[in-house]
Structure 1
């Protein structure tokens, strides 16, 4: 039960790799490698904790830094020339600096960077909200269910808003043991991860379908001209 979320992460990564030739020239190419970094960090962290019995917090400190930067870069491409792109651009520049200050002068590298983790999480929520605001402001009709950006922003918003609520407002869930040390907190976190990576799989599928359709249309146009 502890590793169900990891299976979804691996499934999303494999799906992204299988169709990477369709995705590599789109804004979501970075998402494939982001998921790969997450999977690698989870595997290394689990090995350190369960086999080597050594602290694994440094791995997650570095992995989450890279994760947030890549999310910010993806949102920047999602926004494009949209007026809300300023936030993601400033975030990508400022976050590594704040992270470095935190781990060197405030919390240190030997504990999890909760301060900058919370900052990154709140920033993801803000970027996702900006995306939905931009949809409302856009007069052009968009089929959201066929939009990779929609599923990307939806997964981010659900995951990080719920994760923050779970971490800050439902703190006792750590103490509620469901079975064999599997707490209510872990259950909620597992469900959130399943939702997030299911959304990412949807992103890859939609992007792959769109690129295939555009390629087929281009071929048909070439044939008839």
Structure 2
């Protein structure tokens, strides 16, 4: 069952990526197109993790950590690109610098990139992405796009990120502090469900969004 859930998670990312390619013509600019590539990166990472575990017999901590070191800076820069207010863009610059600093310090002094999840980096990255996502939503809800939320692809991208990471970070914290004995299949089921929410949001965005809404 565990292996099946991991494959289904890969399938979800591939499905969202394929919808991104199918509706590529609707994407308003390079920011949206680059986000589609990040979805494909997620699918490739999942496949690489499965292959790594099968070949080495080890947990794919290193694959996950490398992916994390790529995807969180990308999310921060993506959110910066769709933020409109200068102070919010400055906040994104600060977040990027702090996360980059954590990537340098944490694996060197605190956590092994090969032997464990670099959870400190993960928590910092998630918090920063969530803060910037909320800033984007505040801007969006304060703009004239409030009546056309479903028409902008970036709303669906940010919604998908929030649907995954808002519950996932507390869940991961619980695993470290309270639920260390949770069965691995339960963990995989929860992660799969969160991937359904995230990739489902991306797919709805590809279908319903309109090209003229480019921010």
The TM-score bracket by the shorter chain reads: 0.7 to 0.9
Kept after mapping to 1: 8 A contact 2:150/2:205: no
Structure 2: gaps of 5 or more residues: none
Structure 1: gaps of 5 or more residues: 215-225
1:189 matched to which residue of 2?
191
Measured after TM superposition, the shift of residue 139 of structure 1 is 5.6
SS of the counterpart of 1:54? coil
The higher-RCO structure (CA 8 Å, 6+ apart) is 2
1:124 corresponds to which of 99, 124, 129: 129
Measured after TM superposition, the shift of residue 160 of structure 1 is 0.8
Runs of 4+ in 1 over 6 A off after TM superposition: none
1:10 corresponds to which of 10, 14, 22: 14
2:82 matched to which residue of 1?
78
Q: Distance in 2 between matches of 1:33 and 1:158?
A: 20
2:169 corresponds to which of 161, 164, 172: 164
1:144 aligns with 2:145: no
User: How many pairs does the alignment contain?
Assistant: 208
Kept after mapping to 2: 8 A contact 1:9/1:39: yes
TM value normalised by structure 1: 0.80
Q: Distance in 2 between matches of 1:86 and 1:167?
A: 29
1:217 matched to which residue of 2?
none
User: Relative to 1, partners in 2 of residues 1:64 and 1:24: Cα closer, same or farther, differing over 3 Å?
Assistant: farther
User: Relative to 1, partners in 2 of residues 1:12 and 1:113: Cα closer, same or farther, differing over 3 Å?
Assistant: same
1:65 aligns with 2:66: no
SS of the counterpart of 2:31? coil
1:102 corresponds to which of 101, 106, 109: 106
Measured after TM superposition, the shift of residue 113 of structure 1 is 0.7
Measured after TM superposition, the shift of residue 18 of structure 1 is 3.1
TM value normalised by structure 2: 0.83
Measured after TM superposition, the shift of residue 75 of structure 1 is 0.7
Q: Distance in 2 between matches of 1:204 and 1:91?
A: 28
Q: Distance in 1 between matches of 2:144 and 2:21?
A: 35
